[in-house]
Amino acid sequence: MFYHLITLGCQMNVSDSERMHSILQRMGYVNTDNEEEANLLGILACSVRQKAIDKVYSRIHKWNKWKNKRNLITFVSGCVLPADKEKFLKQFDLVFPMSEANQLPDMIREYGVTSGISLKTGSSRIPSNDNIFSLWNVNPTYHSSFEAFVPIQNGCDKFCTFCAVPYTRGREVSRPSSDILEEISKLVRGGYKSITLLGQNVNSYGKDKTGEEISFAQLLEQIGELGIVSGREFLVYYTSPHPRDMKTEVVDVMAKYKVLAKMVHLPLQSGDDKVLVKMNRGYNIEKYREIISYIQLKMPEATLFTDIIVGFTGETEEQFQNTVKAIDEFKFNMAYIAKYSARPGAASYRWDDDVKIADKKDRFERLTQQLSQISEAYNNSLIGKSFRVLVLGKDRKPGHLYGLTEGKIIVRFASANESLIGTFTDVKIVSASDFSVEGKTEMVLDELRVS
Amino acid sequence: MSKIDIQAMIAPYSVKEIRNLCDASYVVRFNKNTLAFRAGQHLVVGVLGSSEAREYSVYSGRDEEFLEILVREVEDGIVSRKLRRLKEGNTLEVNGPYGFFLTNAQPPENKKLLFIASGTGIAPFHSFVKTYPNADYTIIHGIRTLDEAYERECYKENRYVACTSRENTGDFHGRLTTYLKNMDIDKETMVYLCGNSDMVFESIDILQEKGLSNSHIFTEVYF
């Protein structure tokens, strides 16, 4: 029996899918890339953008047509808003939150003798995370042999007005630190080079179990110690932290340990204090500036990534200009810029989406252009310097490989040696463009020097 | 070890009372069960079985034996109209509590507190005063008419100022921001704002002009 699983959205869904693959394979199903031969078809949905939800509707429409010709079971899980869940219940055989995924074998067994309505739907509008631990205990089928995601926390209590995640993922729940450290130890022993700690608010880690669990800074410290004891070369990243919970202790620990990558992805969302108030972000630009200053003081080499929303409800040109100033001030290496779109379930969905589409597009383009100039200037400053690069794969440019520096700057270099993929190699930067640099491996440079 | 009240844990959130405060606004009182919250937190409330729910700050005090939310009926509002039609014994779906608003105001903090609210934005402050009646607080409440000064009798004398914009029946006739501009505020005061974004934004500007630090200003925007 074959299964076909489609994963939409963020790294959290990718991480969840690694566990879902294990659950399905444990049941005797075999993964197939060809959905037409699968008996079990599933989607891990994403509700951050309407486009991703549209994909789910389009796919189930197609799958349900196939049901007339052959026996198959369909399911949907992941991030699903209550309103979409109601509709999915009529279209999919099984609809369940990811925290219930470990019970999928029972659901499928029962499905064979009951009606085509979901057996596990839960009644609560905000999904319960009570069973997320059983999902975390599943050994994942990692998507790579050298890069891995490790979930440390799930859910969100922040209720940013533009975001529906609290309604799709439930409340903040921290995974036991002993389990996290055990999974990381296994990965390190298995030769993994890049490990990303995942959660909706990673730096809220432990807050749901105050007094019973260590803090995020303490967790990083233990991972740092594990790195020293292991003697292995690997890097640990985390995403996403929330500026509201960012503590100086986290930065201190990052600066102390080599395995903790000197790269911070800290979502700003807007550079305007009033827009931040309206977004219910719980910090202002002054507080954000304090965090960035501390990062730059303790880790001057650290790269900075962020997320920005342009055209949020009521955002004026003047308020947008404050975001322009913030981008200029903080000199982000990368910003994931999104044009605001109201998400059903989020508080702002009920507010007037009053910034014209053309203005959102214009602001998006201006910010992208600005980011491109800042990033290019930074990348130019790297020319002539050498970096350890984790080689990720073959580049689109023939005869080239690509990888990432510790700060996640994309590096391309000429090499046909595919055995480098999944290893660290030293690369000297020789040219730069806006969002990547080009280099030569030190091995190639040595050869050039000899000849 | 204290005995766990299983019955209370699984009990439904039953409506006990709908209390009309004025034409547009009312209070929904319902079972508390085992739900514990801090003043300033909100719940997500809907009618059981309905796919719609909304966030409402808790209006009642932490130690009261019931939960209350303050609701303004919105024209064409799906949830606010449904809730008003509920009868005693009807069941609600309640999730929460959520949020951090007023976290820094809770004892043992003992600072001077200035609460600024427009309309139903008074709810978290009502909950706070019910919970900590001896706190050193002042409330400035921006409303249109005096009937929106919801249950003002629960606040101590001289600690509540109703700013009525449409009639001269309150403690101050005019917008609350006008009152705020003329007010002397100690720079060490912790200021909490809750209500519509225009009021919140304008008040922040006034407070900053008066020299208050951003670290002393906390906000919760309703719409």
Of B99, B204, B223, the CB nearest to A159: B99
Separation CA A80–CA B31 (nearest Å): 29
CB contact under 8 A, B214 and A157: no
Grade residue A299 by pLDDT with cuts at 50, 70 and 90: very high
- A101 shares a domain with A29: yes
**Is residue A124 domain-resident?**
no
What percent of chain A clears pLDDT 90, i.e. is strictly above it?
67
Grade residue B3 by pLDDT with cuts at 50, 70 and 90: low
pLDDT in tens, B4-23: 555 555 668 999 999 999 99
Which chain B residues touch A if contact means CB-CB below 8 Å? 42, 44, 46, 51, 53, 55, 93, 95-96, 98-100, 197, 200-201, 204, 214-215, 219-221, 223
For residue A170, give the amino acid letter. Answer: G
- A325 shares a domain with A405: no
Cβ contacts (< 8 Å) between A86 and chain B: which residues?
Answer: 51
Instruction: Centre a 10 Å sphere on the Cβ of residue B157 and count the other Cβ atoms it contains.
Output: 6
Domain end marker among A215, A231, A261: A261
> For B176-181, what is the mean pLDDT?
96
The DSSP bridge partners found for residue B70 are: B27
CATH code of the domain in which A406 resides: 2.40.50.140
Predicted confidence at residue A113, as pLDDT, reads 36
> How many separate domains does chain A show?
4
Name the minimum distance, in Å, from the CA of B96 to any CA of chain A.
9
pLDDT for residue A387 is more than 70: yes
Q: Are A168 and A79 in contact (CB under 8 A)?
A: yes
What percent of chain A clears pLDDT 70, i.e. is strictly above it?
94
Separation CA A414–CA A399 (nearest Å): 6
Cβ contacts (< 8 Å) between A284 and chain B: which residues?
Answer: 214
Grade residue A69 by pLDDT with cuts at 50, 70 and 90: confident
For residue A269, give the amino acid letter. Answer: Q
- A335 shares a domain with A319: yes
CB contact under 8 A, B95 and A124: yes
- A239 shares a domain with A281: no
* B contact test, residue of A80, A165, A201, A274 with most B CBs within 10 A: A274
Grade residue A380 by pLDDT with cuts at 50, 70 and 90: very high
Which chain A residues touch B if contact means CB-CB below 8 Å? 82-83, 86, 123-126, 157, 159, 161, 166, 273-274, 277-278, 280, 282, 284, 286-287, 314, 347, 350-351
Count interface pairs A-B at CB distance under 8 A.
47
pLDDT for residue A234 is more than 90: yes
Predicted confidence at residue B135, as pLDDT, reads 93
- A446 shares a domain with A393: yes
**Is residue A292 domain-resident?**
yes
- Which residues of chain B does CATH 2.40.30.10 include? 6-98
Instruction: Centre a 10 Å sphere on the Cβ of residue B102 and count the other Cβ atoms it contains.
Output: 25
Nearest one of A25, A110, A113, A124 to A82, comparing CA atoms: A124
Q: Phi/psi of residue B48, each to 5°?
A: -55, 130
- A217 shares a domain with A194: yes
Cβ contacts (< 8 Å) between B96 and chain A: which residues?
Answer: 126
CATH code of the domain in which A6 resides: 3.40.50.12160
The angle subtended at Cα B28 by Cα B27 and Cα B30, nearest 5°, is 145
**Is residue A165 domain-resident?**
yes
CB contact under 8 A, B46 and A125: yes
pLDDT for residue A105 is more than 50: yes
Q: DSSP 3-state assignment of A136?
A: helix
Q: Which residue of A has its CA nearest to B203?
A: A274
- Which residues of chain B does CATH 3.40.50.80 include? 103-221
pLDDT for residue A48 is more than 50: yes
Q: What is the DSSP secondary structure assignment for residue B149, as one 8-state letter? A: S
- A212 shares a domain with A183: yes
User: Does the domain formed by B103-221 have CATH 3.30.1330.20?
Assistant: no
Q: Are B163 and B122 in contact (CB under 8 A)?
A: no
Average pLDDT, chain A: 90
Predicted confidence at residue A131, as pLDDT, reads 77
**Is residue A318 domain-resident?**
yes
Q: Of A27-36, A37-46, A291-300, B8-17, which has the strongest mean pLDDT?
A: A291-300
Grade residue A118 by pLDDT with cuts at 50, 70 and 90: very low
- By CB neighbour count within 10 A (0-12 exposed, 13-18 middle, 19+ buried), where does A84 fall? buried
Cβ contacts (< 8 Å) between B53 and chain A: which residues?
Answer: 82, 125
Q: Are A313 and A353 in contact (CB under 8 A)?
A: yes
Name the minimum distance, in Å, from the CA of B202 to any CA of chain A.
10
Report which of residues A342 and A220 the model is more confident about.
A220
CB contact under 8 A, B214 and A82: no
> For B119-123, what is the mean pLDDT?
96
Phi-psi bin for A6: left (phi > 0), alpha (psi -120 to 50), beta?
A: beta
**Is residue A139 domain-resident?**
no
Of A125, A274, A287, the CB nearest to B201: A274
> For B56-72, what is the mean pLDDT?
96
pLDDT for residue A104 is more than 80: yes
Predicted confidence at residue A71, as pLDDT, reads 82
CATH code of the domain in which A176 resides: 3.30.750.210
Predicted confidence at residue B140, as pLDDT, reads 98
pLDDT for residue A122 is more than 70: no
Grade residue A164 by pLDDT with cuts at 50, 70 and 90: confident
Predicted confidence at residue A445, as pLDDT, reads 56
Domain end marker among A261, A293, A311: A261
Grade residue B147 by pLDDT with cuts at 50, 70 and 90: very high
> For B182-191, what is the mean pLDDT?
94
Instruction: Centre a 10 Å sphere on the Cβ of residue A18 and count the other Cβ atoms it contains.
Output: 20
Predicted confidence at residue B12, as pLDDT, reads 84
Domain end marker among A212, A243, A261: A261
Q: Which residue of A has its CA nearest to B97?
A: A157
Q: Of A167-171, A269-273, A350-354, B102-106, which has the strongest mean pLDDT?
A: A269-273
CB contact under 8 A, A124 and B220: no
Cβ contacts (< 8 Å) between B74 and chain A: which residues?
Answer: none
What percent of chain B clears pLDDT 70, i.e. is strictly above it?
95
Rg of chain A, C-alpha, whole Å: 23
pLDDT for residue A160 is more than 80: yes
- A103 shares a domain with A21: yes
pLDDT for residue A115 is more than 70: no
For residue B205, give the amino acid letter. Answer: D
Cβ contacts (< 8 Å) between B99 and chain A: which residues?
Answer: 157, 159
Grade residue A316 by pLDDT with cuts at 50, 70 and 90: very high
Q: Are A138 and B78 in contact (CB under 8 A)?
A: no
Instruction: Average the pLDDT over each of A135-149, A222-236, B44-58 and give the range with the smallest value.
Output: B44-58
Q: Which residue of B has its CA nearest to A273?
A: B201
Predicted model pTM: 0.83
- A317 shares a domain with A282: yes
Cβ contacts (< 8 Å) between B221 and chain A: which residues?
Answer: 161, 277-278, 280
Separation CA B48–CA A62 (nearest Å): 33
Write down the CATH number for the domain with range B6-98.
2.40.30.10
Predicted confidence at residue A126, as pLDDT, reads 66
Residue identified by tokens 């939310």 is: B69
Cβ contacts (< 8 Å) between B219 and chain A: which residues?
Answer: 277
Cβ contacts (< 8 Å) between B201 and chain A: which residues?
Answer: 274, 277
Separation CA A249–CA A265 (nearest Å): 16
- A308 shares a domain with A271: yes
Predicted confidence at residue B32, as pLDDT, reads 92
- A278 shares a domain with A242: no
User: Regarding beta strands B42-47 and A436-441, do their DSSP bridges make them parallel or antiparallel, or are they unpaired?
Assistant: unpaired
Grade residue A448 by pLDDT with cuts at 50, 70 and 90: low
Q: Which residue of B has its CA nearest to A244?
A: B100
pLDDT for residue A270 is more than 80: yes
- A394 shares a domain with A319: no
pLDDT for residue A374 is more than 90: yes
pLDDT for residue A120 is more than 50: no
- Determine the structural domain holding residue A391 and report its residue range: 386-450
